Amino acid sequence: MEKQHYEQIDETIYMERLSNGLNVYVLPKADHNKTFSIFTTDYGSIDQTFTPINSDQMLQVPDGIAHFLEHKLFEEEDGSDAFDMFSKRGAQTNAFTSFTRTAYLFSGTSEVEANVETLLDFVQSPYFTEETVENEKGIIGQEINMYNDDADWRLFFGLISALYKNNPVRIDIAGTVQSIDDITKDMLYTCYQTFYHPSNMVLFVVGPVDPEETIQLVKANQEQKSFPEADTLARTYGAEPQESFEREKKIEMNVQTPKCLLGYKEPNEQYPLPGLAYELGVQLLLDVMFGLGSSTYEKLYKEGVIDNSFSADFTMERSFGFSAIGGDTKDPDRLVSLLNETVDAYQQQGLGEEEVRLAKKRKIGTFLKQLNSPEFIATQFTRYEMNGDTLFEVVPTLEKMTIGDLENILNRHFRPERSSVVKVEGDGS
Amino acid sequence: MAEEEQFNAGGLRVHWQPSDTFKTTTIVLHVKAPLEAETAASRSLLAQVLQAGTEELPSRRKIRYFLDDLYGATFYADVGKKGENHVLTFVMEVASEKYLQNESPLLPKALAFLLSVIQKPNRSEKGFPETIIQEEKQVLMQRIRNIVDEKTRYANIRMLEEMCAEEPFGVHPFGTAEELEALTNQELQETFERMIRNDQFDLFVTGPGTKEEITDAIHSAGENVGSGKTVASTATMHDAPAQVNEVVEKQSIQQAKLHLGFRVPYTVGSREYTGVLVTNGILGAYPHSKLFVNVREKESLAYYAASRYEPYKGIVFAMAGIAPDQYEKAARIMQEQLEAMKRGDITEEELTTTKQMLKNQILEQVDSARGAIEMNYQNVLSGANRTVDDRLREIEAVDMDTVISIAKAIQLDTVYLLTAEEGTA
């Protein structure tokens, strides 16, 4: 067991890599009631074309299969489901699928050891039949339709599918009602066996627990199970052009207020800074240019072009990265032209010391707020770990960031040929 | 977390709860008045205008600069309803200097600012600045218009409007667009004066600071506000109508939203309160609950199927997102779940699992500052002063007979369906 103490934020983390390859992390929080634990595999919606375990032939599976698999893992062979086992101990369980990861979690205030074991066991004992797979199609179909009526979700996916031509990030995480209809139990087993190998997974436990005992518990649990040798895993995402796929796109649906996003796609080449620094750098820049304290925000707000739904975010994961700026607006064209003018002005004039100093301060304070949440720590630590970074390096990385670093990013990321504008507008109904 | 210490500073009731669990201090100021159609719009606009500037920091941008310099402290105001109370809420969260290099305490500055929002707002003899009123009206107007764009939320608001058309609870806390449009600076001023004079102010502070750090700012602010009296807050109680009220509304959407509104004659101050929590838990609050199991797992009709208890008013509502052509089947299955409970068709396991889930939720709630504050404010509003231990004990004491008798008291009032127009599904 290794141990790392982070002085500035006063947190200690314990970790061990087990012989089957599973990475286990424990963060003790003695003064909490709740234990939160998340078991994550490095496998998400974009992983559709890959070499299955023990094969060197590429296989392509239907859209939405990683998410479908997430739903099905809760079911047990004896007809019970994992929800029941956690509920009896008063614990809540859930799962989510992102572009690059699938995660299973619980939170509870008693019988922590039993809950950790249940989490490991239900994820590591897949059981599906043709019948249960068919039954799930109705439930997921309603989940998909719920998102189809959600204008913010449609806007967000509208942007990604305008930016990307080939990368499967452009496909909705849950797939479509048609695509999930093609999913069979055998395909689910193939994906499971390929991506749910312990060496492709991370377990994180945070709460009033003893690190040594927790790691021993996980070790004992894993030693009772047998896994095949880890195989090299090849995945492909298609060749993605540098420029955006569609510069402009309009989606008609039943909304009162239009919605609009401007986005920029990252080019597929080496990032000029290490991953964590690059991601934080783009976020800082977005905050300087469009954050609540920026003159652009003030101007748009005073004109009534934006409201508090306005945001500017950057996401960077395995094989893709993009920013998204916008929200509800009565005047999408005015919004886009002011956003573009702001980018141009900054590219010409550079950044000011004071605004960068404040943006860093704000980001550090926000980060400390987030550390109050065990869910945030566990989920984000895992995410950073899978990207080869460390969550607790955020503050020192921010402190080290220079104006020069930010100006490099400014000139590289914000390029018109890599941008898209997407609007959701009323269909008159 | 230590127990809360309560003291009065003029008209301000202060609830101080020190805690080293958090890396930030959370400050919440709740300002309560009765919920009324006549005042909702002006009070919600007031919340918007007050957060847009103070005497010292007269614009959103100046406030933002101040907050950024306090390590990105969070500040916002909002308005909501707690039963038939209209509550303005001002929230601040500020980092503890313990985790920052060479910083003096940030809490006194944060607290002084938050209190200046109501104590020293940006206004002259002519009232609030006209430009700010216009800007904030626009923003609030947009928020009101946007309600319809979020379908689940919209369906729930519409169900309550229909169900409580004759009661204050049917009023949306933002007020209506027409009322908002018509508001004058003069009226806004009067609303502000009335608030300071009549409303009930409760200030909650929890985090790693010390009592000395908050005392000065609090004492000067307390002299300004109200009488410190509590504002009466008994919900109006109504029986379900003899004939269930059915409302169908159509829009161009793919998934229908089915919302059922039930009357329950018990609120947060009642002896039966905890019993209702358990009853609602068995019906639809959890994945083992009857609605989830029967509507989603068995029939595959929905992705979500759940119920919620509104404890300040005495309403239980159930909801599910379904295919439009499954309306009758889904509505029937949902109602059958409550009927089953009335007949006593509840297993021991459903009861014990629900109790476990509820106890767990309470213990988890106090792990967060906002959760702990929310629980304390419930004590203020209900007068029932339940500690965490009381709550756990009360849950443990709920038995099968109590659940059945509470289920029998739950009556269906309104069925609301938001569904697809023909040809759009």
* Residue A78 scores a pLDDT above 90: no
Residue B271 in any domain: the answer is yes
Burial class (CB in 10 A: 0-12, 13-18, 19+), B5: exposed
Q: Are A417 and A281 in contact (CB under 8 A)?
A: no
Please state, in angstroms and rounded to a whole number, the distance separating the CA atoms of residues B45 and B78.
10
Distance, CA of B334 to CA of B259 (rounded, Å): 10
Which is it for strands B12-18 and A311-317: parallel, antiparallel or unpaired?
unpaired
- Beta pairing partners, A142: none
What is the rounded distance in angstroms from the CA atom of residue B15 to the CA atom of residue B36? 27
Strand-pairing partners, residue A40, are: A103, A202
Residues B278 and B166 in one domain: no
Confidence band, pLDDT 50/70/90 cuts, at residue B425? very low
CA dist., res. A60 & res. A183, Å (int): 12
Residue A84 with chain B: CB contacts under 8 Å? 288, 353
B218: confidence class by pLDDT, cuts 50, 70, 90: confident
Question: Rounded CA gap, A140 and A135, in Å?
Answer: 9
Tens digits of residue pLDDT in A12-68: 999 999 999 999 999 999 989 999 999 999 999 999 999 998 888 999 999 999 999
Instruction: Give the ipTM.
Output: 0.87
Residues of chain A neighbouring B22 (CB-CB closer than 8 A): 372
Kindly determine whether residue B360 and residue A138, on different chains, have CB atoms separated by under 8 Å: no
Looking at the complex, report in whole angstroms how far the Cα of residue B57 sits from the nearest Cα belonging to chain A: 13
Nearest by CB: B149 against A8, A93, A256 = A256
Chain B residues within an 8 Å CB radius of A372:
22-24, 368-369
**Stretch A198-219: mean pLDDT:** 97
Contact check, Cβ <8 Å, B363/A34: yes
Q: Which of B99, B367, B369 sits opposite A32 (nearest CB)?
A: B367
| Structure-token pair, residue B26 | 């959370």
Contacts of A412 (CB under 8 A, 6+ apart): A267, A272
Same domain, B323 and B405: yes
Q: How far is CA A359 from CA A299, A348, B97, in A?
A: 19, 20, 18
Q: Could you tell me the end-to-end alpha-carbon distance of chain A, in angstroms, rounded to an integer?
A: 61
* B377 contacts B336 by C-beta, under 8 angstroms: no
Q: Which residue of B has its CA nearest to A208?
A: B367
A417 contacts: CB under 8 Å, gap ≥ 6: A242, A243, A244
Q: Do B256 and B382 belong together in one domain?
A: yes
Q: Which chain B residue lies closest to A138 (C-alpha atoms)? A: B300
Q: Encode pLDDT of B159-194 as tens digits.
A: 999 999 999 999 999 999 999 999 999 999 999 999
The token pair that represents A178 in the structure block: 């048609």
Residue A142 is nearest to which of B143, B145, B321, comparing CB atoms? B321
DSSP letter assigned to residue B70: T
Token duo for residue A367 = 């980060």
Close Cβ partners of A239 (under 8 Å, ≥ 6 residues apart):
A166
Distance CA B99, CA A93 (A): 32
Which CA distances in Å does B176 have to A202, A329, B118? Answer: 50, 20, 24
Instruction: Please report the pLDDT score of residue A10 as a whole number.
Output: 86
Contact criterion met (CB below 8 Å) for A5 and A59: no
Does the distance separating the beta carbons of A308 and B255 come in below 8 Å? no
Q: Within 10 Å of residue A11's Cβ, how many Cβ atoms?
A: 18
What's the order of all strands across the beta sheet hosting A92-97? A2-6, A11-17, A23-28, A201-207, A35-41, A102-108, A92-97
pLDDT of residue B229: 66
Tell me: do B265 and B201 sit in the same domain: no
Q: Tell me the C-alpha distance between B65 and B57, whole Å.
A: 9
**Distance (Å, rounded) from C-alpha A58 to C-alpha A236?**
9
CA distance B21 to chain A (A): 6
- How sure is the predictor about B102, in pLDDT bands with cuts at 50, 70 and 90? low
Dihedral sign, Cα of residue A410, residue A411, residue A413, residue A416: positive
Suggest the residue from A6, A32, A71, A87 to mutate for an interface test with chain B (most B CBs closer than 10 A): A87
Flag whether pLDDT at A270 surpasses 80: no
Q: Using CB atoms, pick whichever of A89, A142, A362 lies closest to residue B303.
A: A142
One DSSP character per residue, B262-321 reads: EE-S--TTSTTHHHHHHHHIIIIISTTSHHIIIIIIIT--EEEEEEEEETTTTEEEEEEE
Beta carbons of A109 and B251 less than 8 Å apart: no
Helix-strand-coil split of chain B, %, nearest 5: 45, 25, 30
Sign of CA dihedral B293, B294, B300, B305: negative
Of B142, B297, B360, the CB nearest to A108: B360
Q: Which helix (H) or strand (E) holds A147?
A: helix A130-148
Query: Taking residues B373-383, what's their average pLDDT?
Result: 93
Q: Which residues in B lie closer than 8 A to residue A104 (C-beta atoms)?
A: none
pLDDT digits (tens, 9 = 90+) for A128-156: 999 999 999 999 999 999 999 999 999 99
Nearest-by-CA chain A residue for B153: A150
Other Cβ atoms less than 10 A from the Cβ of B252: the count is 17
Q: Between B64, B142, B301, which is nearest A293 by CB? A: B64
Min Cα distance A62 → chain B (Å) is 21
pLDDT tens string A306-317: 988 999 999 989
Query: Which tens digit of pLDDT belongs to each residue from A86-121?
Result: 999 999 999 999 999 999 999 999 999 999 999 999
B196 with B254, same domain: the answer is no
Is A372 in Cβ contact with B369 (below 8 Å)? yes
From the list B70, B99, B303, which residue is nearest A146 (CB)? B303
Binary contact (A139, B61; C-beta < 8 A): no
Helices H / strands E in chain B, number of each: 15, 11
CA-based torsion, B72, B75, B76, B82: positive or negative: positive
Q: Which pLDDT score is estimated for A14?
A: 97
Q: What single string gives the DSSP state of each residue in A15-65?
A: EEE-TTS-EEEEEE-TT-S-EEEEEEES--TT--EEPPTT--S-EE--TTH
Q: Which of B99, B150, B286 sits opposite A368 (nearest CB)?
A: B99
Whether B237 is in a domain gets the answer no
A70 included as an active-site residue = yes
How many alpha carbons fall within 13 Å on the CB side of residue B202? Answer: 21
Provide the 3-class DSSP secondary structure of residue B215. helix
- Nearest residue on chain A to B93, alpha-carbon basis: A369
Whether B201 and B324 map to the same domain: the answer is no
Long-range contacts of B177-185 (CB under 8 A, 24+ apart): B177/B141, B177/B144, B177/B145, B179/B40, B179/B41, B179/B42, B180/B41, B180/B44, B180/B45, B180/B137, B180/B140, B180/B141, B180/B144, B181/B137, B181/B141, B183/B41, B183/B42, B183/B45, B183/B137, B185/B126, B185/B127, B185/B128, B185/B130, B185/B133
| C-alpha–C-alpha distance, residues A314 and A287, integer Å | 10
Question: Can you tell me the distance from the alpha carbon of A213 to that of A316, in angstroms, rounded to the nearest whole number?
Answer: 35
Is residue B425 included in any domain, yes or no?
no
- Say whether both B372 and B309 belong to one domain: yes
Look at residue B233 and tell me if it is in a domain: no
Which residues of chain A lie closer than 8 angstroms to B64, CB-CB? 292-293
If you write DSSP's letter for every residue of B95-164 in order, what string do you get? E-GGGSTT---SHHHHHHHHHHHHHSBS-BTTBS-HHHHHHHHHHHHHHHHHGGGSHHHHHHHHHHHHHT
DSSP secondary structure string for all residues of A352-412? -HHHHHHHHHHHHHHHHHHTT-HHHHHHHHHHHHHTT--GGGHHHHHHH--HHHHHHHHHH
Is residue B292's pLDDT more than 60? yes
The pLDDT of B316-341, averaged and rounded, is 97
Asked if residues B194 and B7 have their Cβ atoms less than 8 Å apart, the reply is no
**From A10, A149, A298, residue closest to B151, measured CB to CB:** A149
Q: How far is A81 from chain B (nearest CA, A)?
A: 10
Q: In whole angstroms, how far apart are CA A221 and each of A24, A79, A81, B79, B257?
A: 12, 23, 20, 49, 44
Instruction: Specify the number of domains making up chain B.
Output: 2
Distance from CA of B207 to the nearest CA of A (A): 11
Mark yes or no for CB contact A330/B142 under 8 Å.
Answer: yes
- What span, in angstroms and rounded, lies between the C-alpha atoms of B122 and A254? 39
Q: What is the 3-state secondary structure (H, E, C) of A66-108?
A: HHHHHHHCCECCCCCEHHHHHHHCCCEEEEEECCCCEEEEEEE
Phi/psi at A282 (5° precision): -65, -40
Residues A179-207 have a mean pLDDT of 96
The answer to whether the CB of A58 falls within 8 A of the CB of A51 is yes
Boundary residue ending a domain (B221, B254, B288)? B221
Does residue B259 sit in the same domain as residue B170?
no
Contacts of B148 in chain A (CB under 8 A): 256
Asked whether the beta carbons of A41 and A201 are under 8 A apart, the reply is yes
Distance CA B414, CA B261 (A): 5
* Pair (B266, B215) in one structural domain: no
Chain B nearest-CA residue for A148: B254
**Whether B360 and A109 lie within 8 Å, measured CB to CB:** yes
Q: Is position B301 within any domain?
A: yes
* Domains detected in chain A: 2-236 (3.30.830.10), 248-426 (3.30.830.10)
**Is residue B347 situated within a structural domain?**
yes
Average pLDDT, chain A: 94
Cβ-Cβ contacts under 8 Å, A142 against chain B:
255, 301-303, 321-323
User: What is the least distance, in Å, from the CA of A398 to any CA of chain B?
Assistant: 13
- CB pairs < 8 Å spanning A and B: 178
> In 10 A of CB B8, how many CB atoms?
11
Query: Given this model, what pLDDT does residue B9 score?
Result: 85
Residue B315 and residue B183 share a domain: no
Three-class SS state of A417: helix
Residue A308: the pLDDT is 87
Inter-chain touch B60–A301, beta carbons under 8 Å = yes
B171 and B264: one domain? no
Contact B148 A307 (CB under 8 A): no
Beta bridge partners of A36: A107, A206
DSSP structure string for A191-222: HHHHH--GGGEEEEEEES--HHHHHHHHHHHH
CA angle A224, A72, B336 (to 5 degrees): 125
Cβ–Cβ below 8 Å for B301 and A109: no
Q: Do B353 and A372 touch (CB under 8 A)?
A: no
Contact (CB<8Å) A139/B303? yes
Host domain of residue B328: 245-420
CATH number reported for the structural domain that contains residue B98 in this entry: 3.30.830.10
Q: Report CB contact under 8 Å: B254, A148.
A: yes
CB contact under 8 A, B356 and A429: no
CB contacts of B142 in chain A (<8 Å) are: 257, 304, 307, 328, 330
How far apart CA A288 and CA A350 sit, in angstroms, is 11
Q: Which of B188, B221, B254 is the last residue of a domain?
A: B221
Shortest alpha-carbon distance between residue A155 and chain B (Å) = 13
Q: Pick the closest to residue B206 from B15, B399, B6 (CA basis).
A: B15
Contacting residues for A39 by C-beta, under 8 A, at least 6 apart: A103, A104, A105, A119, A120, A123, A201, A202, A203, A204
Residue of A nearest to B420 (CA): A149
Q: Quote the CA–CA distance of B49 and B52 in Å, as a whole number.
A: 5
The side-by-side arrangement of strands in the sheet containing A259-265 is A248-253, A419-426, A259-265, A320-328, A311-317
* Tens digit of each residue's pLDDT (9 = 90 or more) over A390-427: 999 998 999 999 999 999 999 999 999 999 999 999 98
- In whole angstroms, what is the distance from residue B169 CA to residue B233 CA? 12
* pLDDT at A429 (0 to 100): 57
Any domain includes B227: no
Q: Is residue B406 part of a domain?
A: yes
Pair B181, B261 in one domain? no
Q: Which of A2, A11, A16, A70 is catalytic?
A: A70
Question: How close A394 gets to chain B, by Cα (Å)?
Answer: 14
Per cent of chain B over pLDDT 90 is 80
